[in-house]
Structure 1
Amino acid sequence: MKSKILILFVAMGLSGTANMVCGQTTAVPDTLSKYILTPKAPDTPRINGAKVFGVRPGSHFLYTIPATGVRPMSFAVDHLPKGLKVDAETGQIIGSIKKTGEYVVTLIAKNALGEARRDFKIVVGDKLALTPPMGWNSWNCWGNAVSQEKVLSSAKAMVEKGLINHGWQYINIDDGWQGLRGGKHQGVMTNSKFPDMKALADEVHAMGLKIGIYSGPWVGTYAGHLGSYHSVNYHHGKYSFVKNDVQQWMDWDMDYLKYDWNPNDVYHVKEMMDALRSHKRDVVFSLSNSAPWGDASQWEKMANCWRTTGDIKDTWENMNRLGFNQTKWAAYTGPGHWPDPDMLVVGMVGWGPRLHYTRLTADEQYTHISLWALLAAPLLIGCDMAQLDDFTISLLTNDEVIEVNQDPLGKQGTVVKENESVVVYAKPMEDGAMAVGLFNRGEKPTKATVT
């Protein structure tokens, strides 16, 4: 009988300090370094990230082995299925698998100090996102001021600052890239801020990362750009260009779609799902925002992620309210379908050209990351990656915390005890362990017990 391990996250509410100017922090608080708790990764190789990966038969396969340790490092994979190959220098696995089934391979990373091996399950079937997606999204830092240059900068930073070695994969462009309809598919083309979307996607893929795009089934998006419908009415129009737009995204080699409107409805979700699945390229399908609870069983079947909330802000009141209100979605959480309480508001954010350091204190940020990990929520970084500070990097590269989020069982942590300011969460893990979170949402230290 397997022994059970208790993993504790201890998080407190409203303590810590930050430099404030007119209600916003303008630089990285100089006190944050003393709050770093994540141990430095060893120089010997260690393989991190998810232990399972889903792909459809015949679809393009791209996965970068996430490994920490001193470089140079070489990579290999034992028992790799037919159709795939690994680059020994970069650890990128590419190709395609035609036959459905489960393939257990062994990932291998070597450097001058040693070797690491880890089993990795490739599931070829009809499900994507077998663990919650991990990546970056442009909205919470750049808003409508996003540009090709800024997106590329964030992709480079994800590699150079080492997040790719902990399982972070996606670079997602939010609202603000769209121009007019045109091209051979009459799809929405880019505006002047994105001179060459295909070249951008190629650069991101060459780094071993994936790239995502944004749209919505209204005539116009929230930021005032073209959506996937056409009519004189701003909202749902008479003429659908969904198939046209999807074909254009396929030509650009997109891997992720954020589809954004309110309220989400079954008709437009199914229309987009069918259009995406009609192509060989695998695209993670994410709905935004505030998906109605009454259709939870439909979102579970048709989308890989769906927003359960309105937009998050970098305040304790907002993050606290959104994060601690997810238990009702637990029954619909699992491999391939993840309720989403919105993006991570750590680091330099701003929703536009001017950025500021998050208004969450150090303790509030530990609460934020720990809770999202226990919830099995998608982890999408919302800050300017090029300005990542050491404290934020430490939050985003704690492999024990990431492992809780990426556990293959895919269970959402739920409330098992609540007493005044103390909330206790428990999340069953695949190996029989139980991840437990002890949260103090109040301003004073208090005691919490768990059996």
Structure 2
Amino acid sequence: MYKFILTLFISACLNICLAQNTHFIKPDSARFITGTQDNYRDITFNDQAWKMQKLGEVWQSQGYPDYHGYAWYRIHVHIPSSLKKSAIWADSLRIYLAHVNDVDETYFNGVKIGKIGSFPDDKGGYVSKWPAVRSYCIPANSNLIKWDADNVIAVNVYDGGGTGGIFMGEPFIDMLEKTDGIEFTAKAISFLPGDKAQRKLLLQNKFNTTITGTFHYKIIDAAQHITLKEANVITVLAPFASKEFTLDFPHREGIELTYDYTEKTSGKGKSFTEVAPYILTPIASNSPVINGPAVLGAMAGHAILYRIPVSGARPINYSVSGLPNGLTLDAKTGIISGAIGANGSYPVMLTATNSIGKYQKVFTIKVGDKLALTPPMGWNSWNCWGLSVSAEKVKSSANALIEKGLADYGWSYINVDDGWQAPQRAASGEIVANDKFPDMAALGTYLHGQGLKFGIYSSPGTKTCGGFLGSLGHEGQDASTYQKWGVDYLKYDLCSYTDIIGEDTSLAIQQKPYIIMRDALKKQQRDIVYSLCQYGIKDVWKWGAEMNGNLWRTTEDITDTWESLYDIGFKQDNLYPYAHPGGWNDPDMLIVGMVGWGESLHPTRLTPYEQYTHISLWSMLSAPLLIGCDISKLDDFTLNLLKNKEVIDVDQDVAGQQAKKVIEENNFQVWVKTMADGSHVIGIFNLNNAYASYGLKLSKAGINQLSTIRDIWRQKDLGKHLSDVSFNIPPHGVRLIKVTSPPTP
């Protein structure tokens, strides 16, 4: 019976343990050691010789920068009986650990109270569950709890790659209250005619007990500091019942919605505030528009595949004038394919026509020794599917890329991340796919048939980050296999290679595996974009191009929080000298839309303000743009972020210059990017936590002429012959403008 109750409460807590009650214990640190032994779980184990670690931060930032594998935390905590006595419900003690990367097994006073994920030694092998919130509950009457005495929470952690530890939140211990059973679920927002919007909110009771209380909501115009509407509703929720509310509000920037629920008996409540999504990108014209880059890199004699990205009403007819020998155009699909035998620059005229109009664009195919002349754009499976990726999910994502119109704006790569490999190689040593991918070559053919590129993932170590087979000792075979499968892109992730090199931290040892795979790829009669994923170790941006790398990760993994976005994105400012056509600094994938890393997909935790900042900054950085969400679940707001032609043009500019930070003052940053046509794109970023005004004299950004200023997101000119501009910018938000000066006489 005890086990049943414990399991029930653990299951309930996983979804709702995100708020702390008034009375709680917040342990700031724990004793820590790498490696693992069974007796580390024992309550009597002497851990005095262990080092201290701050909870809520990864161990890589606390003295273990390159460590991946097993580790233990032991949290010593005094639990006063007053915690129980002050509780209204007094039903269960909650142990909230925030997130753990990647697997945890947690013990309370020597007894296991929960486990999420699987260790490499478990039956079935390593299964990462890092996105899951770790929250375990123990019945308040359990003899496990030592009231008014010291207790030990021992957590065995396994990190398979990237960051490791208890992080992305602050652990706490408290008593569960009825209000913890309340959950708010915001359904997709509806954008209505007349600049109106509507949000449907579901108020749910996740507990097997009736909850009575008051639901309160407020609609605020944060830009003008006024309340537009406010209401209280007495609400009784039966066990596991729910009630839907409809909120109507203006469709514009700056609208914030606050919800809270106060439980009647305890007076305790749960609340959250959200920024209402708002669309800045104008509705695309029905007349055809050719989007995407103006240049393509390829190698002589290698297969070329290019889907002309055209938005507008269907059907569309395509034509190309000046198409070089060896290439053909499918006039119905707009797919150019074939090969060019000789090096050179081949300008062609692309034409798209429908019943409404015609659009033409000069497009240059450069055949030589460089690929990825503009940053790759596409989708990667990791941030939504994690290790649960399958061929069907990949095909579904490819179909959604086309059905949602993203392929019409230049999004073209479909990249399969970790989790596709079989447990063993073939007898010949060749890498083979697992049952989720019955025919990799057929998958490549399927993607190519739609004009999309096929990406794949591996590691220079024996194992990938997810515990699947890596390429060590089989680099040549794997590169040859990728060619046979029709692979166009390889993400090569450091992972278990760090276990092989041991204490050797030299530059040569970091470069070695990427040199081996570089040389293997060079032997293939196929263009394969080479993505170096080694987290910026040894300043990879300084030598990534020598590896024939087309992009190189400059950071650890990004997560869907402002803190992660800020720490990664705004620390790229000194890397601008190393970005160029054919080689790009990679600050990791996009964190918009529904993400979840394999399960429990959730809307990104970035506010709409922060999402505009995210896409604006990545475009100014000339960063690879790889969507990480479930494309089939893209809403109108997220599509607005990903289908703005003028924003994409900033990223895909043929000059390939990364923006520079030119001003930092009063918690604002101003970044400037020089475009191929001589214009400048300026991003003004408000890093404050509230709306704030900023005035920019163009001369401070190095522009000394009266200029035309255009709002890029709104695709609207703000004026001509201007020397300065002022904006009221939302918290963590941006104004992205293009400044065009008249030519110098």
TM-score by length of 1: 0.90
Instruction: Give the conservation status (yes or no) of the 8 Å contact 1:186–1:245.
Output: no
Instruction: Give the conservation status (yes or no) of the 8 Å contact 1:185–1:245.
Output: no
Superposition pairs for residues 181-330 of structure 1, below 5 Å? 181-183=424-426, 186-229=429-472, 240-261=473-494, 265-302=510-547, 303-330=549-576
Superposition pairs for residues 422-433 of structure 1, below 5 Å? 422-433=668-679
Instruction: Give the conservation status (yes or no) of the 8 Å contact 1:28–1:357.
Output: no
Distance 1:444 1:27, change over 3 A: closer
Distance 1:21 1:300, change over 3 A: farther
Instruction: Give the conservation status (yes or no) of the 8 Å contact 1:147–1:194.
Output: yes
CA shift at 1:59, angstroms?
A: 0.5
Superposition pairs for residues 50-89 of structure 1, below 5 Å? 50-89=293-332
The partner residue of 1:37 within 256, 280, 288 is 280
Q: Which amino acid aligns with 1:135?
A: G
Distance 1:326 1:120, change over 3 A: same
State the partner residue of 2:665: 419
CA shift at 1:198, angstroms?
A: 1.3
Structure showing the higher helix proportion among its residues: 1
User: Hey, what's the Cα distance between the residues in 2 that align with 1:343 and 1:58?
Assistant: 31
Instruction: Give the conservation status (yes or no) of the 8 Å contact 1:81–1:103.
Output: yes
The answer for unaligned runs of 5 or more in structure 2 is 1-14, 19-132, 134-183, 192-196, 198-250, 252-277, 499-508, 699-745
- SS of residue in 2 equivalent to 1:109: strand
Q: Which amino acid aligns with 1:30?
A: I
User: Hey, what's the Cα distance between the residues in 2 that align with 1:338 and 1:100?
Assistant: 23
Instruction: Give the conservation status (yes or no) of the 8 Å contact 1:185–1:248.
Output: no
User: Hey, what's the Cα distance between the residues in 2 that align with 1:27 and 1:300?
Assistant: 45
Superposition pairs for residues 139-150 of structure 1, below 5 Å? 139-150=382-393
Instruction: Give the conservation status (yes or no) of the 8 Å contact 2:374–2:581.
Output: yes
Query: Which 10-residue stretch deviates more, 169-178 or 292-301?
Result: 292-301
Instruction: Give the conservation status (yes or no) of the 8 Å contact 1:290–1:308.
Output: yes
Instruction: Give the conservation status (yes or no) of the 8 Å contact 2:384–2:597.
Output: yes
Instruction: Give the conservation status (yes or no) of the 8 Å contact 1:181–1:187.
Output: no
Instruction: Give the conservation status (yes or no) of the 8 Å contact 1:50–1:408.
Output: yes
Distance 1:78 1:48, change over 3 A: same
CA shift at 1:447, angstroms?
A: 2.4
User: Hey, what's the Cα distance between the residues in 2 that align with 1:256 and 1:185?
Assistant: 24
State the partner residue of 1:115: 358
Distance 1:183 1:252, change over 3 A: farther
Query: Which 10-residue stretch deviates more, 397-406 or 272-281?
Result: 272-281
Distance 1:21 1:206, change over 3 A: farther
Count how many residue pairs are aligned between Structure 1 and Structure 2. 422
The partner residue of 1:128 within 356, 361, 371 is 371
Q: Which amino acid aligns with 2:616?
A: S
State the partner residue of 1:9: none
- SS of residue in 1 equivalent to 2:516: helix
Listed one character per residue, the Cα deviations across residues 149-186 of structure 1 (whole Å, up to 9, x for unaligned) are 11111000000110000000100000000104444852
1:358 aligns with 2:617: no
CA shift at 1:329, angstroms?
A: 1.3
Q: Which amino acid aligns with 1:407?
A: D
CA shift at 1:200, angstroms?
A: 1.2
State the partner residue of 2:208: none
Listed one character per residue, the Cα deviations across residues 15-67 of structure 1 (whole Å, up to 9, x for unaligned) are xxxxx965599665537864011111101111000001000000000000001
Give the alignment's Cα RMSD to 1 decimal: 1.7
Q: Which amino acid aligns with 1:124?
A: V
Instruction: Give the conservation status (yes or no) of the 8 Å contact 1:190–1:197.
Output: yes
Distance 1:133 1:27, change over 3 A: farther
Query: Whose relative contact order is higher, 1 or 2, with alpha carbons under 8 Å and at least 6 apart?
Result: 1
Listed one character per residue, the Cα deviations across residues 222-251 of structure 1 (whole Å, up to 9, x for unaligned) are 10001012xxxxxxxxxx110011111111
Distance 1:409 1:169, change over 3 A: same
- SS of residue in 2 equivalent to 1:447: strand
- SS of residue in 2 equivalent to 1:188: coil
Distance 1:26 1:103, change over 3 A: farther
- SS of residue in 1 equivalent to 2:693: coil
Q: Which amino acid aligns with 2:346?
A: Y
Distance 1:137 1:450, change over 3 A: farther
State the partner residue of 1:98: 341
CA shift at 1:294, angstroms?
A: 3.7
Listed one character per residue, the Cα deviations across residues 314-360 of structure 1 (whole Å, up to 9, x for unaligned) are 01111111000001211110100001000000001001122111111
Q: Which amino acid aligns with 1:272?
A: M
- SS of residue in 1 equivalent to 2:332: coil
Q: Which amino acid aligns with 2:575?
A: W
1:154 aligns with 2:400: no
CA shift at 1:277, angstroms?
A: 1.3
Q: Which amino acid aligns with 2:625?
A: L
State the partner residue of 1:349: 595
CA shift at 1:301, angstroms?
A: 2.6
CA shift at 1:450, angstroms?
A: 3.7
CA shift at 1:300, angstroms?
A: 2.2
Q: Which amino acid aligns with 1:357?
A: P
CA shift at 1:295, angstroms?
A: 4.4
- SS of residue in 1 equivalent to 2:431: strand
Instruction: Give the conservation status (yes or no) of the 8 Å contact 1:27–1:357.
Output: no
- SS of residue in 1 equivalent to 2:543: helix
- SS of residue in 2 equivalent to 1:258: strand
Q: Which runs of 4+ in 1 moved over 6 A?
A: none
CA shift at 1:414, angstroms?
A: 1.2
Listed one character per residue, the Cα deviations across residues 241-279 of structure 1 (whole Å, up to 9, x for unaligned) are 100111111111100000001568211111111111111
Distance 1:166 1:52, change over 3 A: same
Q: Highest Rg: 1 or 2?
A: 2
Query: Which 10-residue stretch deviates more, 185-194 or 281-290?
Result: 185-194
Instruction: Give the conservation status (yes or no) of the 8 Å contact 2:388–2:419.
Output: yes
- SS of residue in 1 equivalent to 2:541: helix
Q: Which amino acid aligns with 1:411?
A: Q
User: Hey, what's the Cα distance between the residues in 2 that align with 1:182 and 1:285?
Assistant: 23
Q: Which amino acid aligns with 2:562?
A: W
- SS of residue in 1 equivalent to 2:395: helix
